[in-house]
A and B are shown apart, each in its own frame.
Chain A
Amino acid sequence: MPSHDSGNVAWVLVSAALVLFMTPGLAFFYGGMDRTRNVLNMLMMNFYCVLVIPVLWVVVGYSLSQTPFGNDWIGNFDAFMLTGIGIDDGGMTLATIAYLGMFAAITPALISGAVADRMKFSAWAIFVPVWSLLVYVPVFKWVFGGWLGQRGSLDFAGGTAIHVNAGIAALAAVLVLGKRRGWPQEGHPPHSMPLVMLGTGILWFGWFGFNAGSALGANGQAAQAFMNTFLAAAAAGLAWVFVEWLRDGHPTNLGAASGIVAGLVAITPAAGYVSGAAPIWIGLIAGVVCCYAVRLKLKFKYDDALDVVGVHFVGGLVGSLLIGFFANPEFFGATFRKGIFYGGNVRLLAEQALANGSAMMWSFGVTLAIMIVLKKTIGVRVDAEAETTGLDLALHSETAYHSGGLH
C-alpha cells in the first residue's frame, strides 16, 4: 500500500465518491434502454445495491475479501464490523475500505441489465447480498492478493473481478430466468435515449475514480490510468459508431454509448499497466469486438436484455487478455511481467487466461446454483400479468411518467 500522505488519502476519498456516482449512472444507462413501464424497477434494482451492499461490506465483505491480504482463497473475520480499523494511519485504510465498498456495490448492479423486465424484486433483494458474499467476495480475494494475483495475473481495477465476473453471472442468471415475453419476435426499443446518454456521461465521469483511483494514491500510475481511461473510451466509442455506420447505414447514439462503456470496461484491468498508444488499440479492439458480441444473444437465444454479456463480459475479457500483449512494466518502473509486444513471453497471457477462466467457472457455477435455489423456493420470475402491466406498477406501485401519452 502506498505511503499514507494526505494527497493519497484525498485522492482515494474523491475516487470513492466518483465510483459511488457510477451506480446511479448505470441505473440511467440501463433505465433509458428499458421500456417506460419498467424504468423505475430498473432504477430500484440499481439503487438497492447501494442500500444493501455498503452495510454488508462493512459487516463481513471487506474482512472476508481483504484480511489477511496474502491469504490464498478467502479472508477471515478479523475486520468484522471494522474491528481494529482506526484512523492513526491518516485515514488511508478507512478511505480504502469505503472505496472498495463502492466497487462491491456496483458489481451486482451490472447484472440488473440482463435480468431486466421480468425478475421478481424479492428474488433480486436476496440475490444481491448472497451473490456478493458467495461470488464477488471470493473472486475479489483471489484476484487481489489471493492465489490468482500471487501467480502474477494482473487486474488493475476489476476487469476480471468485476466485469468478467458480473458478465458471466448475468449469463447464468438469464439462463435460469428465461426470456422476456415476446422476445425476440417483439421489439423492446429504448424508451429514452437521452437518459441513456446522460447515464453514459455519468459512468465515464465516475470511471476516472474507478480506474485512476485504483492506484490508491495521487501518483504517476494514477495519472496514466486516468489518461488510459480517457483514451480507451473515446477510441471504443469511435470504433463502435463507425462499424454501425458502415454496416447498418446510421451512426447511433446507443452505439456511441455502448462503445464508450465497452472501452471503459476493457481498459479497467489494464489501466495501470499500459501506456502510450496501447489504450487506443485496446479501445478500438474492444469497440469492434463488443459491437459484434451483442448479437450473440440472438444467435444463441439467451435473453440478456441490455447486453451485460456482450459489453461487460466480452469487454472485460478482451481488456484482460490484451494485458498479455500490452503490459509495460518498464514505463511504470514496476516488476510485473512484460506483455508480448514489450519483449515478454506468453506467460502473462497464460496467467490472464487462467485468472479469467477460474473467475468465470466459479461465477457461472455459483450464480447458476443461487438462481436455481431461488427459483425452487420463492420463484425468480414475475407472473405474466405483472410482466405485461409493467414492473413499476406491479412491484413498486409507482409510475415513471404520469404525463406520458400512449405507452
Chain B
Amino acid sequence: MEQNNKDHSPHHVTPVAVYVKVLLALLVLTILTVAVSYVDFGKANIFVSMGIATIKAALVMMFFMGLKYDTVLNRTIILSSFVAVALFLGLSASDLWTRPDIQPVKVAEVAATLTMDDIKKLEISTPELIAHGKEVFSVNCTPCHGANGEGNGASGAALNPKPRNFHGPISAWKNGTSTHSMFVTLAYGIAGGGMASYKSLPPADRFALIHFLHTWTPEIQTASAADSKYEAALKEDGIGAGSVAAKATMPVDFAISRMMAH
C-alpha cells in the first residue's frame, strides 16, 4: 500500500524519524524540567515549570496525536478545552492573588481572659463604658425592653411577667440594682421569667450595659441574694481564683471586629 501523504486526507502518515526526533526533544525537555527545578525564579517558578510542560504537551499533541496534520475543527475542539482551563485558573488566581495577606491570629492573645484587676476597673462607670453599653443595649435588649427601656418591646409583649421597665420603681427589680446583682442577672437570667442568660456577652460588655442602665435607674448597693452569686458568675467566665477555664468560644464582638476588618 503506498503511503498517503495528502494533507487533507485523514490518514497522514508521519515518518518514523519525525516521531523519534520528537521523543528526543521531549527527553531533553524533561531533563530541563528537572534541572530548572533546582533554580529559584521566585514568583516565576510556576510559569517556568508549566511553560516547559506546555511545550512538551504541544509536541505530544502536534506530532504524536497528529494535530499538525489534522483538521481545524479538531484543533479548535481541544484548544477550547485549554481555554476553559485557562479561564478556570485565571479567575481563581484573580481571587487568590488579590487577597490581602492575612496572618492567623490567636484568639487567646487578642481576646484574653480578664483578671480580677480588670474587673475592679470595669466596676467603675466611665463615659466610654456608658456609650458602649448603649450600643450593646440597642442591639441585644431593645427587642424585649423597648427602644427606651420601658419594657414595651415587641418581642416582650407575650412575656409574663413583662420585661423590666428600667424607668419604673426599683422595688420591682427581682435582683436589685447593684452592679453585682445586675451582673448576676445578665449571667443567669431570671428563673421563671422571660429574662434569658446573656453569658454570650463578654463580661466587659455586661459591665458597659450595667453602667448604661444606671443612667436610667440609680444603683442601690443593698446586699441581695444575687450579690452572693457574683463571685460564682465571674468564675464561670474564667475570672478569679479557682475559676473554670472559659470555654474556647470566640467572643461575638471579637468575631464581628475581625469580619469587619476585612
Chain B associates with chain A: no
Question: A: which residues have CB within 8 A of B?
Answer: none
